[in-house]
């Protein structure tokens, strides 16, 4: 039996061309949708706040409301302040409402270089019970598991502090004066972007001073 032209199975050339064209259009639409979704995802990732900047902003606000009032400790009367290269603690009127309901506190930032974590904690300011304040200032790890003080850790690849007084020409790695507070605090850190950042905070001043990138590298930044 001989099959006619119309009895043969398969697609004609025109049908294949049309099917290919439709497939190309569908693939193009799907590719455009995927590209758009990917761009939106990247934008959202870029807009996600870096916790290192959030903590730097918190430190700036707290230093802007630093309380210089002297308190009577066991070794004498002095302001509530302790400053070293990786630790700073001071009395401030600005606290985290979720922790201390916004009352005056002693804030403490303690950086552990080995783990790369900056621990933040705060203690309610009570000038009539200074023993707990002394312990809070001197404890190397206020974030210890048995500590009664709640602490919150944020990953920081690097975090360094410097201190300058009225007559200082450069920032020192620690503040040893028990009679007065530093005038400026330098904060150098690396955030999620692994880039170096630095700010100079004036105590009881609302606005920080951004440090140029060339000054972030290397050792202690000179004061101006």
What are phi and psi for residue 46, nearest 5 degrees?
-70, -30
**Do you know the residue count of the chain?**
224
Q: What is the pLDDT of residue 88?
A: 95
pTM over 0.95: no
Spans of the chain, pLDDT less than 50 = 1, 140-145, 216-224
CB atoms within 10 A of CB 57: 13
Query: What pLDDT, on the 0 to 100 scale, is given for residue 182?
Result: 93
Torsion 111-112-118-124 (CA) sign: negative
Looking at residue 1, its pLDDT comes to 47
Sort residue 208 into left (φ over 0), alpha (ψ -120 to 50) or beta. beta
């Amino acid at each position: 039996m001989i099959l006619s032209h119309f009895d043969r199975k398969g697609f004609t050339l025109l049908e294949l061309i049309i099917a290919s064209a439709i497939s190309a259009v569908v693939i193009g639409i799907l590719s455009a949708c995927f590209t758009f979704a990917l761009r939106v995802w990247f934008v959202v990732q870029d807009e996600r706040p870096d916790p290192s900047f959030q903590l730097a902003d918190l430190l700036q606000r707290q230093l802007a409301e630093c309380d210089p009032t002297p308190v009577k400790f066991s070794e004498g009367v002095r302001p509530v302040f302790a400053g070293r290269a990786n630790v700073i603690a001071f009395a401030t009127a600005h606290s985290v409402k979720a922790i201390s309901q916004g009352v005056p506190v002693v804030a403490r930032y303690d950086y552990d270089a080995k783990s790369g974590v900056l621990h933040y904690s705060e203690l309610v300011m009570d000038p009539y019970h200074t023993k707990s304040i002394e312990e809070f200032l001197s404890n190397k790890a206020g974030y210890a598991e048995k500590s009664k003080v709640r602490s919150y850790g944020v990953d920081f690849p690097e975090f360094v502090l410097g201190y300058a007084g009225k007559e200082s020409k450069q920032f020192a790695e620690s503040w040893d004066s028990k009679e007065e507070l530093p005038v400026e605090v330098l904060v150098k850190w690396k955030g999620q972007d692994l880039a170096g950042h630095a700010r100079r905070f004036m105590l009881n001043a609302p606005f920080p001073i951004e440090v140029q990138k060339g000054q972030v590298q290397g050792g202690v930044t000179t004061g101006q």
